[in-house]
Amino acid sequence: MAIRYENGSLMVEQVPVEKIASEHGTPIYVYSQAGIFENLRAWSTAFEDRQPLFCFALKANDNLEILKLISQRGFGADVVSGGELFIARKAGIPSDKIVFAGVGKRAEEIEHALNEKIRAFNVESRQELELIQSIARRIDLPAPIHIRVNPDIDARSHPYISTGLSTNKFGVQAEQAIDLIKLAASLSHIDFKGIHVHIGSQVTDISPFEATSRWLKEMYSLLKEHGITISTFDLGGGLGVDYHNVTEASHDCDEKKERIPNVREYAEAVIGPLRHLPVDFVFEPGRSIIANTAVLIVSVLYTKQNDSKKFVIVDGGMNDLIRPSLYQAYHHILPVSSPDRDEKERVDVVGPICETSDFFARDRLMPVVMPGEHLAIFSVGAYGYSLSSNYNGRPRSAEALVDGSNFRVIRRAETYEDLLNLYDSV
């Protein structure tokens, strides 16, 4: 395990987390390079016989230095904006490994992506298709596309991150897809390649993925009857991770034993029904590559008892990590040093932001902690920093990357001056 306790001290690879926190202050995100490489390898080996294209979903983490590592291992990018496309290219990700999704692509973003000659647009509506055609025709560049189809399959994840139901804004209804694909095939500058699906995120049950692949197999046959051949299936991302069992020992805190499918099981389930089709595969994993490779280190500022509640107030807030506030997401939290303590208590771990929703844990059984101590919030590599903000006038935290016994800051902490950056022309 790249992130683990050794003699009561939290280590990221060979570096004690206390050392990073004392040298660079808190809050700080700390990533493990070995952890990232291990996850990338798991994806590559699970699909070895099909050699798909893996497009890392930048929305999970868009740190330039991390993207460079991901790119070095042959991964491409799933982007959802011109900004993400810009960052992916800066990180050295080749254009022909970039797919572009999103229900609201602007004309400038489409032109930008056409000029970059990306691998494919994941088209989400008829109007978008028509706009892509008209821009591609004007600048006379081909537009490779997948049509994002909404399979109306329940991913059984949090409702905010389920995307594959007919009531969600994503993709086109299956009933409309055939007409749209026929239209795409008839347009001069559109090069129809295949179908894109993404049913949701933090999906921890394999059966919705399996059902999606079975559904795609039917779509393949149906389209064939209409004289249309699919050369690519882009199966999106969504594989969940275990947010509960993050250290070898439970340290007697609240933990849940839930078995999360691994990448190999996922690969078998999704490829299974499609195994004999002559198609290329694209996958867009985000969370499963990066979530468990990082911890967010915060310092305890104060503790206090209000009525029946004990609060542990830390120096990181929902502006640094919004997942608990937004999705009631669970992140394991332990002291960086000596996590095994005789004294335990039930607390809310909260930040300094002026919102009641600013919490990292509620009614959590934890070791008793004191002001000045460092706490580690686990599994924050995905949708952690990328969802951070300056809310309440708070500069964003730093990010550090550990490689063996070395570490370096891969994005510095913002300063107050950074809060003034955008006023230069005012």
Query: Exactly one of 7, 221, 225, 354 is catalytic; which is it?
Result: 354
Distance between CA atoms of 33 and 13, rounded to whole angstroms? 9
User: Is 42 one of the binding residues for ligand LLP (CB under 6 A)?
Assistant: no
Comparing C-alpha atoms, which of 148, 152, 169 is closest to residue 160? 169
User: Is 331 one of the binding residues for ligand LLP (CB under 6 A)?
Assistant: no
In terms of CB distance, is 146 or 374 closer to ligand LLP?
146
Q: How far apart are the first and last CA of the chain?
A: 50
User: Is 220 one of the binding residues for ligand LLP (CB under 6 A)?
Assistant: no
User: Is 97 one of the binding residues for ligand LLP (CB under 6 A)?
Assistant: no
383 phi-psi bin (left φ>0, alpha ψ -120 to 50, beta other): left
Comparing C-alpha atoms, which of 64, 1, 89 is closest to residue 401? 64
User: Is 101 one of the binding residues for ligand LLP (CB under 6 A)?
Assistant: yes
In terms of CB distance, is 237 or 367 closer to ligand LLP?
237
Smallest gap from Cβ 76 to ligand LLP, in A, equals: 12
In terms of CB distance, is 192 or 266 closer to ligand LLP?
266
Q: CB-based burial of residue 238 (10 Å sphere; 0-12 exposed, 13-18 middle, 19+ buried)? A: buried
Contact between 325 and 400 (Cβ < 8 Å): no
Comparing C-alpha atoms, which of 65, 19, 74, 72 is closest to residue 43? 74
User: Is 57 one of the binding residues for ligand LLP (CB under 6 A)?
Assistant: yes
Strand partners for 296: 29, 377
Task: Specify the stretch interacting with ligand LLP by CB under 6 A; choose among 43-51, 106-114, 235-243, 393-401.
Answer: 235-243
Which uninterrupted H or E stretch holds 263? Answer: helix 263-271
Contact partners, residue 145, CB within 8 Å, separation at least 6: 120, 121, 122, 123, 129, 132, 184, 190, 191, 192, 193
Smallest gap from Cβ 327 to ligand LLP, in A, equals: 6
Each residue 63-82 as x (binds ligand LLP by CB under 6 A) or -, in order, gives ---------------x----
User: Is 364 one of the binding residues for ligand LLP (CB under 6 A)?
Assistant: no
User: Is 120 one of the binding residues for ligand LLP (CB under 6 A)?
Assistant: no
User: Is 27 one of the binding residues for ligand LLP (CB under 6 A)?
Assistant: no
Smallest gap from Cβ 403 to ligand LLP, in A, equals: 24
User: Is 327 one of the binding residues for ligand LLP (CB under 6 A)?
Assistant: yes
Smallest gap from Cβ 56 to ligand LLP, in A, equals: 9
Structural Rg of the chain based on CA atoms:
23
Contact partners, residue 102, CB within 8 Å, separation at least 6: 80, 81, 122, 124
Task: Specify the stretch interacting with ligand LLP by CB under 6 A; choose among 230-238, 337-345, 395-403, 409-417.
Answer: 230-238
Count of positions (residues) in the chain: 426
Distance between CA atoms of 110 and 108, rounded to whole angstroms? 5
Catalytic residue list contains 253: no
User: Is 285 one of the binding residues for ligand LLP (CB under 6 A)?
Assistant: yes
Residues 170-199 that bind ligand LLP (CB under 6 A): 198
Phi, psi of 176 (to 5 degrees): -90, -15
Smallest gap from Cβ 330 to ligand LLP, in A, equals: 11
- Return the residue of 323, 331, 332, 394 that touches ligand LLP, per CB under 6 A: 323
Smallest gap from Cβ 387 to ligand LLP, in A, equals: 6
Half-sphere exposure of 280 (CA within 13 A, CB side): 13
User: Is 60 one of the binding residues for ligand LLP (CB under 6 A)?
Assistant: yes
Distance between CA atoms of 167 and 173, rounded to whole angstroms? 10
User: Is 274 one of the binding residues for ligand LLP (CB under 6 A)?
Assistant: no
Contact between 73 and 37 (Cβ < 8 Å): yes
User: Is 286 one of the binding residues for ligand LLP (CB under 6 A)?
Assistant: yes
In terms of CB distance, is 79 or 334 closer to ligand LLP?
79
The Cβ of residue 137 has, within 10 Å, a number of other Cβ atoms equal to: 14
Residues 121-140 that bind ligand LLP (CB under 6 A): none
Q: What is the DSSP letter of 162?
A: B
Q: CB-based burial of residue 177 (10 Å sphere; 0-12 exposed, 13-18 middle, 19+ buried)? A: buried
- Return the residue of 39, 202, 232, 379 that touches ligand LLP, per CB under 6 A: 202
In terms of CB distance, is 89 or 198 closer to ligand LLP?
198
Distance between CA atoms of 147 and 123, rounded to whole angstroms? 5
Task: Specify the stretch interacting with ligand LLP by CB under 6 A; choose among 10-18, 82-90, 231-239, 272-280.
Answer: 231-239
- Return the residue of 82, 236, 335, 351 that touches ligand LLP, per CB under 6 A: 236
In terms of CB distance, is 131 or 329 closer to ligand LLP?
329
Per CB under 6 A, residues contacting ligand LLP are: 57, 59-60, 78, 101, 161, 163, 198, 201-202, 236-239, 284-288, 323, 327, 382-383
- Catalytic residue set: 354
